[in-house]
Structure 1
Amino acid sequence: MPSSIAQPPAGPPGPTAPQSPVLHWTGLVTHTDATGDAAISCTDQAGRTVELHLDDDQREALGLSLVAPGADGMICTPADGVHVHPANPTAAEADRDALLDFLRVVHEALAIPFAATIGEGWKRAAILEARLPHIVVELENQLDDARRHTAYLRKRIAAHPATGYITDAQARAAVADGKTWHEAVNQPSAGGA
């Protein structure tokens, strides 16, 4: 005769984990100027009005995480600022590499050689002045899409090459080759930096 194992009688299900309420923003935010605090008005699933109260640091951390969200799967938590925990380390490394590449392009755009003289300096200043608006716009947009903006900035910088003036290094090299400083800084530009 086969043996049977007694099964416990089916009873009511055990306790379930509480579900987080789903809130919808009403579009209303009330600020307290003196403290920097904010109350964000929301409605819950039952249509009741609830408020999310944020102190100044929490408000800033939330704003930063909304303006500059991480990649899919990134978790942002406010604690002394925004700390981002990569759910996908490979994506985080790619984002870091893209940011470093962007910063190298910004450095390349700004760190052009100094002119040999004040008279030549206006040409260098004009190049930097032409490049600067592109850099400012891309720094503002960098939080949006690093790779696309890096490629754009490279293209815009290439349109304003650091050429057409005698650099300090070129003038010093000419002096080392036996020219006077006056000869070195008044020679035709050799194509620039």
Structure 2
Amino acid sequence: MKHLSLFTLLFFVFTMTYAQERPDYDNLKKAEIEQHLNKEGFISKTGWVLKEGEEITLGNGTMPNKFFAFIYETPAYQHSDERERLTSFSNGKKAKVKSLLVRGSKRTGYQVIARIGIGTLTNYWVELDNAIEAGEVTLPEPYTSHLQTPVAKPFSVADEIRKFKELMDEGVLTKEEFETQKKKLLNQ
């Protein structure tokens, strides 16, 4: 009985320390998500809490050319019409989370983005849920047991075009930049 109580106490302490309740990001307003990110940080589906200033480890790119599907140059810092995806040279590198952002709309759904730096002048955006699921961001050890066998999310041209359209609708990309990206994706 004594061992069972000790085990129960240790389990409770572990779950309270490492796994927090993930808010239902899909049913919150953008301002509510932003407020939660500022106060509590991003909570992944595995319970991992990620806050600004923390360090993450990059996994491996999941596109056929080994580039990262869910980690790419921050659009605001782009000097050309093409968005550059992070290459396989960054596999296993450490990155610092500079900020957590919310992108999307009520109609399309909201997505939490981490703006990261990897030691270069260029900043990158990480689509956190997608990157974690695909293994492009490595989970810290206590949270890996929550995952089943990680399955790389397949790269979909239609999904990528949809993301560029959302960025254009938000005013992040111009119509010309959208058309250039769309043409590039369709000619792969």
Structure 2-normalised TM-score?
Answer: 0.23
Structure 1-normalised TM-score?
Answer: 0.23
- Give the number of the structure whose residues are more often strand, by fraction: 2
- Give the number of the structure whose residues are more often helix, by fraction: 1
Higher-Rg member (1/2): 1
